[in-house]
Amino acid sequence: MEILVAAVAVCVAAASMVFAGLQARSTRLQAQSVLEQTSLMQASSELSFNLEVMVRLQEVLLRVADDPQTHQLVWHQDGDENRRPQIASQSILDVLSMALKAVDRLPGFSTNGEDWTSYTRYVLQRSPSLRAEVLKHPEWWPEITPYAHETHTAEDGAGADD
């Protein structure tokens, strides 16, 4: 009888250890999931904040561009730089940059990656002024700059064949 009780005790202890191991694994997986969700929420919050700041900045810049007196006061110049067409061009680049950044940072949005990279190439191939703006200020749009270089190089190569 003592052997039977000892055998049952060993089985219960072994089952308890297996259950504790499974519980520890489950806890680790849950903690990993929470960490991933927190990281994703942080990236999403950063991108949302960045987008909101970008929208507000564009609104202000467009108002400044529309008023000659304010434009002169802010930019101290009378030329076409920082006028509505240039700000609109920069706004397009800002949106493309934000989309490419979201592709890199948000797993759910990354399914759109091929669409956004393809569209970025399309825009830069068809707009020499946007491409020139990116190449003039590569630090403003680091996500777009490689595509501008790629498109610029491809165009240079095509021009050499003509």
For 94-127, what is each residue's pLDDT tens digit?
989 988 988 888 777 777 778 889 999 999 999 9
Q: How many CA atoms lie within 13 A of 14 on its CB side?
A: 6
- Where do we find the tokens 């849950």? 30
Residue 161: its pLDDT value, please? Answer: 45
Using CA atoms, how far residue 99 sits from 5, 87, 136, in Å, is 66, 18, 21
Question: Does the CA dihedral 126-92-119-100 come out positive or negative?
Answer: positive
pTM summary value: 0.61
Between CA 40 and CA 18 the distance in angstroms is 33
pLDDT at 162 over 60: no
Using CA atoms, how far residue 79 sits from 2, 58, 89, 122, 144, in Å, is 100, 19, 16, 29, 26
